[in-house]
Amino acid sequence: MLRVVSELLWSLRRQGLVISTSQALDATRAIDLVGWDDRARLRGALEAVLVTRACDRSVFRRGFDDYFQADRGHAGDLFDRLRGHGLTPTEIDVVREALQGSSQRSGVGGDAVAALQGTPYDLDWLLRGARMERTLAPMQNAKMAGFFAQKVGAVLGVSRAANILARLTAVLRDALGEERGRVAAEALRDELESLKRRIRLDVGERAAARELPIELEKRGVQDKPFAALDPEESRQVERAVRRLAEKLRGGARVRKRRARRGRVDARSTMRRAMRTFGVPLAIHFRRPRNDRSKLVVLCDVSDSVRAASRFMLELVAMTTSLFDSTRSFVFVADLVETTSLFGDEPATTALRKLGSGAVVDLGATSNYERVLVHAERVLHPVLDKRTTLVILGDGRTNHRPDGAEALARMKERCRAVVWISPEAPSQWGLGDSRMNRYREVCTTVLPARTARELEEAARTLVRVR
């Protein structure tokens, strides 16, 4: 009973309820008195013991009800969960002996093996330990969650646990037969993957909590990071992006009217004026050239940058008249051209299709090397000294090759390569970020975490063209 009580109290603490040691002891006595059979009576007894403020009552009730839901109750240890995979008690005993024997023989395994064999609450205890707090101390925001989830897995010994399970496959097949041994081995692998997912989920929740919500409330919408916008604020930014596009197009029309006759040709003017000693003086102009640049946009639409890429793609779609030609591509692990999509559909419809995953696999892992090598091959006939290549992405490669060499070769053929990053410069180079490497290759690198920074980046892009 004490195990279940401990898990229940831990679940309530995770919901934000403050429970002291004396309250935990009183809760144990209350459960001993009222029992587990009458759920309403049990909740009333625990509420009387654990809730000391009116504002905590809703937190307690929500946590209590969540714990006793059918799919969130006492999950049991590994061997209880293996019954759900269809293993018999005899087969579970074989798995237990094989797992314990393999851990003892190897002398390794670490906390991950212990967490794998225990309940989900055992993993919670490990993730709330001082060692994990030190590991996660440098994590600043949700974009760094993937990298630090890998670090937490390394500290817990997840890779060692995977090696132990790999060695167990042959042992289980010998002990249980080919078919049942395979089922048992797959069940263990599924449990290990579930452990990794719980680590990623926990680290992600803690990373999101570090987004400094109090500071964000003090900022205006123009200065609020895209990832922190609520639906109403997103609509305000969309309207601001449309107004910016109108300003950019209007400014281009004014400049075009002023330059319709071309620039003053001082040499021709002076030469012809000498024939008449300056009377009359006829101003001569150089014939204007159509030197509008071509624009190629590569836009990362993975989870970490999707909020920023949405506004960037909408801005590009509404400012195509500023360029002689525009081609747009989106990518996560693969590069997909969206020029015709934005040309045939309104920007809102095109963005909705992108968000649905119908255009590119949004669940894939970013692969910058594959994307840049593919882009070099596809764009080779297009790139010239009138082309401005724009890349929107966080430059986080998931510890894969960065493909900077392909980007450098494309830069040699372009007028300019502009990288727009939805992360602050202070985060470039941290974890799996390769932005410092890309910055060496690009003509210019601009941060665009907010609507204000996106506007500055867009104006810089227009000047670069």
What is 235-240+292-464's CATH superfamily? von Willebrand factor, type A domain (3.40.50.410)
> What's the pLDDT band for 72 if we cut at 50, 70, 90?
very low
What value does the mean pLDDT take over residues 21-35?
85
pLDDT at 410: 93
> What's the pLDDT band for 374 if we cut at 50, 70, 90?
very high
Mean of all residue pLDDT scores within the chain:
77
Angle ∠(134,210,144) on CA atoms, nearest 5: 70
pLDDT at 409: 93
Which of 352 and 464 is assigned the larger pLDDT? 352
> What's the pLDDT band for 320 if we cut at 50, 70, 90?
low
pTM above 0.75, yes or no: no
Q: How many angstroms separate the CA atoms of 8 and 5, rounded?
A: 5
Give the whole-number percent of the chain exceeding pLDDT 70: 77
pLDDT at 196: 82
Q: Which element (helix H / strand E) includes 348? A: helix 347-356
pLDDT at 216: 40
pLDDT in tens, 168-191: 888 888 888 888 888 888 888 887
Query: 407 and 444 in contact (C-beta within 8 Å)?
Result: no
Using alpha carbons, select from 196, 199, 193, 197 the residue that is nearest to residue 135. Answer: 199
What value does the mean pLDDT take over residues 137-144?
75
DSSP string for 373-426: HHHHHHHTTT-STTEEEEEE---B-TTS---HHHHHHHHHHSSEEEEEESS-GG
**Domain spans of the chain?**
2-67, 80-211, 235-240+292-464
pLDDT at 209: 65
Cα 337 to Cα 320, 374, 454, distances in angstroms? 16, 11, 23
For 89, phi then psi, to 5°, come to -55, -40
What value does the mean pLDDT take over residues 323-328?
77
Using alpha carbons, select from 145, 188, 87 the residue that is nearest to residue 304. Answer: 145
Query: 326 and 353 in contact (C-beta within 8 Å)?
Result: no
pLDDT in tens, 73-116: 445 667 776 777 778 888 888 887 877 776 666 554 556 677 66
DSSP string for 208-267: HTTS-HHHHHHS-GGGS-GGG--HHHHHHHHHHHHHHHHHHHHHHHHHHHHTTT--B-HH
Q: Answer whether residue 357 shows pLDDT above 50.
A: yes
In this structure, are strands 335-337 and 325-331 parallel, antiparallel, or unpaired? antiparallel
Which range has highest mean pLDDT (122-131, 150-159, 241-250, 431-440)?
A: 431-440
Specify the 3-state DSSP secondary structure of 294: strand
pLDDT in tens, 380-432: 888 888 888 888 888 988 888 999 999 999 999 988 898 988 888 878 888 78
pLDDT at 245: 64
pLDDT at 246: 66
Sign (positive/negative) of CA torsion 142, 143, 144, 145? positive
Give the whole-number percent of the chain exceeding pLDDT 90: 6
> What's the pLDDT band for 442 if we cut at 50, 70, 90?
very high
What angle, 0 to 180 degrees and rounded to 10, lies between the N-to-C axes of helices 158-176 and 89-106? 130
Using alpha carbons, select from 156, 142, 150, 124 the residue that is nearest to residue 206. Answer: 142
pLDDT in tens, 211-260: 544 444 445 667 777 767 777 777 777 777 666 666 655 544 444 555 55
Q: Which two tokens stand for residue 414?
A: 């372009």
Q: How many angstroms separate the CA atoms of 315 and 73, rounded?
A: 48
Using alpha carbons, select from 93, 95, 76 the residue that is nearest to residue 183. Answer: 95
By the 10 Å C-beta count (0-12 exposed, 13-18 middle, 19+ buried), 89 is classed as exposed
